[in-house]
Structure 1
């Protein structure tokens, strides 16, 4: 069984990112490439990671008119990525267009949605015109993503149980904000341990500094994997 751990490559340059990747085992984790690294290094870097045998989650959170997002997802699929994401607030037509475009590909990555960014509190979402609490909006947008044919959503581990209760068993939950019990919280406030997040219904765990800043990243990864088996 492939590990549910996705290591976030949050580095400013290729040398630092590859120095970390060289220490990891593709059978123990997947990799996440976000906006900074992709903007600096481009598609070639993603293809390089895929070529090394890693499943890559391309975390670019596409949000635009339906045809533009569909075309972007098409291009991302051609890089060989395992998973990509869009913003659920782009609406049903946008998500369905992306899903339909990927359905015609020989390589069909997982397509998931971001609901409400974890940086947004209740006053923030009211300011942009959303009614209700962040949690209520997360559940509503997760349901919209599932009914639009997407494979899952990104959510905080604290929202996983509520989404799992309303979603089908095959709907994927990808959770950041996951920290081993022995790790520093850094700037994260709403966190769970990997085992607790999985117990709450998460399928995949996005983990950054507990692995990337560890003295021995591979051993840190092995320790996390072992904690899940316990």
Structure 2
């Protein structure tokens, strides 16, 4: 995977998606379709975005018993998206089943979608891990452990905070994908994220890809905001 800037299409319907994408004319994007949009529009939104020529990260964070995840992934593979994900907390059998489903469902002659595991959400804090999830370990250790079992299960990488990327690269190698959400420009609000970073920080720390939402989608000029984030991410700021 080249080092993409992924835009989170956190919109309620196709109309809002089209209104946003119209700002980009012929620019080919890498976009994220999450639960909010997919549950309203279904697979048709994937076909629509693919017809426009954009790459897609289908962010549904599957977490269920292994057979259910396997069959779900078998169906999602037929959509021919570029990237999908599961929750690492589902365990090694579930993650391995996800890969089996993707391989079984990918059309002949096509490459299966890359599959990554969510370690901990970027809204998760150390206090939440201890007080609510009853995990009595340092958050960084939890993320590293989840990433290790994801790799052992055959996954291609993880979703993680930028602040965990260096440790993951050191322990699992730079070819193991690290997709980092919670990206904000330095003057933006953190909103509901806890472990955030700027595009420059993500680049320096070694993220494979960044996911950016409100810093682009909520701006008066989304195209200009996108280009500013892209310059910062690709180290082309003048």
TM over 0.5: yes
Q: Answer yes or no: is the 8 Å Cα contact 1:31–1:54 preserved in 2.
A: yes
> Aligned residue for 1:20?
20
Counting only pairs closer than 5 Å after superposition, residues 64-79 of structure 1 correspond to structure 2 as 64-79=64-79
What are the equivalent positions in structure 2 for 1:150-169 lying under 5 Å apart?
Answer: 150-169=155-174
Query: 2:231: which partner in 1?
Result: 226
Partner of 1:130: 135
Query: Deviation at 1:184?
Result: 3.9
Q: Distance in 2 between matches of 1:210 and 1:188?
A: 13
Among 136, 146, 164, which residue is 1:141 paired with? 146
Q: For 1:41-56, what aligned pairs fall within 5 Å after superposition?
A: 41-56=41-56
- Unpaired stretches in structure 1, ≥5 consecutive residues: none
Matched position secondary structure for 1:22: helix
**Which segments of structure 1 move beyond 6 Å, counting only runs of 4 or more?**
none
Structure 2 unmatched ranges of 5 or more: none
Segment of structure 1 superposing worse, 155-164 or 178-187: 178-187
Secondary structure of residue in 2 paired with 1:160: helix
Q: 3-state DSSP class of the match of 1:23?
A: helix
Q: How many residues align?
A: 230
Once residues 102 and 198 of structure 1 are traced to their aligned partners in structure 2, the CA distance between those partners, rounded to angstroms, is 30
CA shift for structure 1 position 100: 2.2
- Say yes or no: does 1:37 pair with 2:37: yes
Q: 2:123 aligns with which of 119, 123, 136?
A: 119
Please state how far the C-alpha of 1:225 moved relative to its aligned partner. 1.9
**Partner in structure 2 of residue 92 of structure 1:** 92
Secondary structure of the structure 2 residue equivalent to 1:119: coil
Does the alignment pair 1:205 with 2:210?
A: yes
Per-residue deviation, 1:72: 1.0
1:26–1:53 CA contact under 8 A, matched in 2:
no
Structure 2 contact 122–195 (Cα < 8 Å) conserved: no
- Quote how far apart the aligned CAs of 1:3 are: 5.8
CA distance in 2, matches of 1:189, 1:124: 11
Q: Residue in 2 aligned with 1:173?
A: 178
Q: Residue 192 of structure 1 aligns with which residue?
A: 197
Q: Secondary structure at the match of 1:206?
A: strand
- TM-fit CA distance, 1:189: 4.2
CA distance 1:65–1:26, shift in 2 (3 Å): farther
Q: Deviations over 1:94-148 (max 9, x none)?
A: 1111112323423300100001223333343344343312221111001110111
